Structure 1
């Protein structure tokens, strides 16, 4: 058994497991010999990935199409996990509206808060206590460069990702004394199906998107090597973060990101 699977196995639960970054978490964790509970809304893609990792890596896989905004999410997770020993939580699921705030709906904003903020809290509450008792485990919260400051067209999404990053940072300090590793993995533009669907093809290159494989491989190395509480993925993203946080005022950073977002999606 490898160090990774010994520390973060025998089971991992992945929210948002069927496409893009989530699919790569499924594949790369399976390659490390960790059994998977895979959660996503789209059952067809979920089953496709599950069958692939099951046949390629010979691991156990449980799948579930689950609404992460459900009011009984905690009860559903408890039933899904059963008596399995969950050593790693990966919360990759997200909901994002892109467009003017006044054109969004109250239901859409609430869904963003439920999926992006309440969801990770429920997962952490469900699985961190046994990790603390065992004195080992890991939690990966996938966050976004948008969470470092507000931005036009993604105001609600950016606010929820700020919550995710701050939550991970506080838990990193709190739980590491009990042997549980927590990290916020901050991704920038990534060439996922959602990115390809939402981003005009002739503008996508200006966002310098990374490939999901690299985002996930860097995230897992960062977790294993104790790079928390916050790990920004990719050299370009690190450069952008340096400029936004060290070279510009808060107002300047918001204006800079808003201009870039409008150029990409406006």
Structure 2
């Protein structure tokens, strides 16, 4: 029996490549994005190339009606794999970012990802199988001028994913956080900073990124860092994170904060 994957932000970039790769693996697909025409073109291409079933849903996940429509699918249908890929990242200083852009960023990067994850989990846990891929960013580790909100939302994606990993570890469900670095997509143009402004040698293609992410998925990795060659960097970071948390469990202030 074919497995079914639901992919958000599927009309271009990383989401479209996930659709291509999962179709080649024999998955039936539910493709979600705002641009109906692009989704229809991709669906036709994948159906013809791989003989799979593809359904498209035009939905804006930054608004209530869009989120609710996809929640309904995830609650009522047997979705084996959810790829939470939809996201945005306007580049602007905190004071200059418009209220509308800030609200949309939070809705898409945080609220939609959270709600779709919550909608998918009960069925997966009951079936004792399934997977959720949350596409974050290495900006989860780093804040820069003009990325304050974007970095914060991607830190949420990582922390949220890691907590759920612990919740479902006995249920046969995989939660994978994928943290890309620079990737050649339309993201930068949408953010207002054309990718041509950057050193192209520092960027992966979307195909390279997704192939690496799927290699990590096949290994049941909980955190996949496609651009990080030295895995000890991650292991050292993660150990320090755990030690830092453990070091806060002390009933008295640190000596440096106590009067002489």
TM-score under structure 1 length normalisation: 0.81
The one of 116, 121, 127 aligned to 1:134? 127
Does the 8 A contact of 2:6 with 2:79 survive in 1? yes
* Corresponding residue SS for 2:90: coil
Query: Pick from 196, 200, 210: which aligns with 2:204?
Result: 210
- Verify: 1:68 aligned to 2:42, yes or no: no
Q: Is the 8 A contact 2:212 2:226 kept in 1?
A: yes
CA apart distance, 1:67: 1.1
Unpaired segments ≥5 residues, structure 1: 2-8, 247-266
Secondary structure of 2:68 counterpart: helix
Is 2:41 aligned against 1:48?
yes
Distance 2:69 2:88 in 1: 20
**Does residue 1:92 correspond to 2:85, yes or no?**
yes
Cα distance 1:195–1:166, how it changes in 2: closer, same or farther (>3 A)?
same
Asked if 1 retains the 8 angstrom alpha-carbon contact of 2:34 and 2:58, the reply is: yes
Q: 1:111 to 1:181 in 2, by over 3 A?
A: same
Equivalent residue runs for 1:168-183 within 5 Å: 168-183=161-176
Name the TM-score, length of structure 2 as normaliser: 0.83
Task: Give CA-to-partner distance per residue, 1:135-192, whole Å, 9 cap, x none.
Answer: 0000000010111122111110000000001011111121121110001000000011
Larger CA Rg, structure 1 vs 2: 2
Shift of 1:202: 4.9
Q: 1:61 to 1:81 in 2, by over 3 A?
A: farther
Residue ranges of structure 2 left out of the alignment (5+ in a row): 239-260
- Equivalent of 2:196, from 196, 201, 205? 201
1:31 counterpart residue number: 24
Could you list the structure 1 runs, at least 4 aligned residues long, displaced by more than 6 angstroms after superposition. none
Change (3 A) 1:149 1:203: closer
Pick one of 8, 14, 17 that aligns with 1:15.
Answer: 8
The equivalent residue for 1:223 is: 217
Query: What corresponds to 1:234 in structure 2?
Result: 227
In 2 relative to 1, CA 23–201 (structure 1 residues): closer, same or farther, beyond 3 Å? Answer: same
Shift of 1:45: 1.7
Root-mean-square deviation over aligned CA pairs: 2.3
